[in-house]
Amino acid sequence: MSKYTYAVWKRKTASAQIRLFEGKGKDTINGKALNEYIKRADLFEVIYKPLKLTKLKDNFYVEVKVSGSWESAQAQAIRHGIAKALVEKDSALRSILKEAWLLTRDARKVERKKPWLHKARKAMQWSKR
């Protein structure tokens, strides 16, 4: 097996381990082809955004192990992992990816529900009488 660049990234509760290989190959997620694992067409754009911005889509392929959350958060975790691996491979790409906010972790998570409320912040309706 050829040499690869490794990166780990997280989004919400999704965690993605990326292996970025140089050359031609098939993109896989958890051992499946990319289009078998991800069904939504808009998420392909999310995943490939760092490679398209740097114009390196034809030069690299990825093997991904992803777990947690669901498709959208997993796709965003993969996108960030690919961006991080590209910067490790070539530090000159850092400015391009940083300008597009692809190296910043989105730390937002779902707020927990409190016991005396309907949802995380929604309280019962107040009635005067």
Which residues have C-beta within 8 Å of that of residue 20, sequence separation ≥ 6? 4, 5, 6, 7, 60, 61, 62, 82, 85, 86, 89
With a threshold of 0.75, does the pTM exceed it? yes
Question: What is the residue-averaged pLDDT of the chain?
Answer: 94
Q: What is the pLDDT of residue 129?
A: 86
Taking 70 as the threshold, does the pLDDT of residue 75 lie above it? Answer: yes
DSSP 27: -
Q: What is the pLDDT of residue 2?
A: 73
Using alpha carbons, list the distances in angstroms from residue 89 to 5, 20, 67, 92.
Answer: 7, 9, 24, 9
Pairing of strands 28-29, 60-67: parallel
